[in-house]
Chain A
């Protein structure tokens, strides 16, 4: 269970978030600069709130007055906008980057099959398409078996066919892994198709929560 109740002062407004999330998919919608990515960054530990708390499955990520939990210890899978694949590593090295040499990689083998990227493992990021990058980045974010998955506009660079395929794959993965997923999108259609709940953020405020 993800518990979020924090405030963070940004340049022009204060980001104020309060919600709970079980093993569901939550879509964040809202105009650019409304605080969606900052919310993901606060959950991942890249930036910290000014006050309040964040916890996941009883582990405090952030609690006012205490030292925040290090990013490395949060077990968060984060798919950045534009994917941020390591350009000097092959697809396989990108995916296996964080794993110890003798780690069990059966879940990764399965993921690469589900996402259809087995044939790309020897290639480098600049040699693959946008849709393929998205699937590689998704596999990489799941490689360390995270407790929560954060996706920042994961479908924005995809054409319609690739978008549908990736969304179906994400639903399959969620069904199998049963972890909370939060994704940012500008397309209401994406939110309606994938999410159990949709949250609209405007100027740092939660405007509306819709359950599907």
Chain B
């Protein structure tokens, strides 16, 4: 290999971990928003979607305020678990989480809304618990939409740049993700290295989209139409 591949491994680690948490949180949040009406629901939804419309630098600034050495969450994490978020790969994972959560949330919510409520009601009349209905009816029937959201979230996470740079900084070998590697190689005039990473990350994107399309077709054939 012409270059050190640590940015790729770090980007994959950051994206996989943030996507995992995005997956769990989105499933629960979208379920709550899909099924319950409560005071302030619109405000909660606006807060979830806010990162979509904010510049990455604003998100990065917000994360520094929250997780910085004097930020409320930063102090708590340091006191309870003894670790810092700023200038670490964990900061990059948190930045990826925040920017990809709204994408995953929207996909999951749309996927839940496509599940005909009659299917869940039939299962209820048959005496089946809510937990089992979710596991055996709602989740499998929403899966193709959830999967599309997962891929989007992963791609957004792996491509995150602005907020990551602000909270995690650029420390080669420590917080150097692929997008940061591309930018700083370009800044240093190393076009060859920039192009190398551009090709790597573009190949990952093409592979992800191809796989999602294949999987969607396969799932559609298996489920069919009633």
* Stretch of B53-61, B70-78, B113-121, B171-179 lying at the A interface: B113-121
Interface residues of A in 70-95 (CB under 8 A from B): 71-78, 80, 82-88
A87: chain B residues at CB < 8 Å are 141, 223-226
- Within the complex, the shortest CB–CB distance from A47 to chain B, in Å, comes to 10
With an 8 A cutoff between CB atoms, is A18 at the interface? no
* Given A44-B121, A84-B116, A87-B141, residue A144 in contact with residue B226 (CB < 8 A): no
Partner of B128, one of A45, A72, A84: A72
Q: Across the interface, do B121 and A97 meet the contact criterion of CB distance under 8 Å?
A: no
Q: With the chains together, A121 CA to B127 CA distance in Å? A: 22
Partner of A78, one of B116, B125, B137: B125
With an 8 A cutoff between CB atoms, is A143 at the interface? yes
- Within the complex, the shortest CB–CB distance from B162 to chain A, in Å, comes to 41
A88: chain B residues at CB < 8 Å are 140-141, 222-223
A85: chain B residues at CB < 8 Å are 226
Interface residues of A in 45-103 (CB under 8 A from B): 45-46, 71-78, 80, 82-88, 97-98
Q: With the chains together, A61 CA to B127 CA distance in Å? A: 14
The B contact surface, by secondary structure, is helix
* Given A126-B225, A126-B226, residue A84 in contact with residue B119 (CB < 8 A): yes
Partner of B125, one of A77, A82, A127, A133: A77
The A contact surface, by secondary structure, is loop
- Within the complex, the shortest CB–CB distance from A113 to chain B, in Å, comes to 21
Question: How many residues of chain B are within 8 Å of chain A by beta carbon?
Answer: 21
Q: Can you name the residue of chain B whose Cβ is closest to the Cβ of A99?
A: B126
B137: chain A residues at CB < 8 Å are 86
With an 8 A cutoff between CB atoms, is B124 at the interface? yes
Q: Can you name the residue of chain A whose Cβ is closest to the Cβ of B140?
A: A88
Interface residues of A in 111-158 (CB under 8 A from B): 124-127, 133, 140-141, 143-144, 146
**A interface footprint on B20-48 (CB within 8 Å = 1, 0 otherwise):** 00000000000000000000000000000
Q: Across the interface, do B224 and A98 meet the contact criterion of CB distance under 8 Å?
A: no
Q: Can you name the residue of chain B whose Cβ is closest to the Cβ of A144?
A: B126
* Given A72-B129, A126-B224, A127-B224, residue A84 in contact with residue B118 (CB < 8 A): yes
* Given A44-B121, A88-B140, A88-B141, residue A98 in contact with residue B126 (CB < 8 A): yes
Q: With the chains together, A124 CA to B121 CA distance in Å? A: 20
Q: With the chains together, A146 CA to B136 CA distance in Å? A: 22
- Within the complex, the shortest CB–CB distance from B152 to chain A, in Å, comes to 23
Could you show 18 A-B contacts with beta carbons less than 8 Å apart?
A44-B121, A46-B121, A78-B122, A80-B118, A80-B121, A80-B122, A84-B116, A84-B119, A84-B122, A85-B226, A86-B137, A87-B226, A88-B223, A97-B123, A98-B127, A98-B128, A124-B224, A141-B125
